[in-house]
Amino acid sequence: MNNKKIKEYQEELEKIEKELKKGIKEDETSPDFGDDSDHDGESSEKVEAIVDNLGIAKGERDRLEDVENALTKIKEGKYGSCEKCKKPIEERVLDIDPESRLCKACKK
Ligand SMILES: [Zn+2]
């Protein structure tokens, strides 16, 4: 893979990383919302937003891990190799999923 292409993926990954960190941080700084409905107007509004995000919160954390892993690999010059079979990951896969750890064949 050429450096220009890697740079593109890196920029994309950094963008995703930023977005994910923003979402996760908002999640963590929120009050407990479980069964506790005793909130003032301002915080209950925020809680509602977090409840909406809850379903994907776990996925976001996992994804952030993959994104950071991919960024580390770029720095180490190992980006774009499948972690399982060590073959290059198809650019078609990386275009959709730049943090992908596996090639198309190993994903199945
Ligand atoms: Zn593979």
Where exactly are the structural domains of the chain? 3-79
* Ligand 1 mean position, distance from CA 3 (Å): 21
* Ligand 1 mean position, distance from CA 108 (Å): 10
pLDDT tens, per residue, the chain with 108 residues: 889 999 999 999 999 999 999 987 777 666 665 555 555 555 666 666 655 555 556 788 899 999 999 999 999 999 999 999 999 999 999 999 999 999 999 998
pTM exceeds 0.85, yes or no: no
Q: Any long-range contacts for 67-73 (C-beta under 8 Å, 24+ apart)? A: 67/13, 67/16, 67/17, 67/20, 67/98, 67/99, 68/17, 69/99, 69/101, 70/9, 70/13, 70/98, 70/99, 70/100, 70/101, 71/10, 71/13, 71/14, 71/17
* Ligand 1 mean position, distance from CA 13 (Å): 20
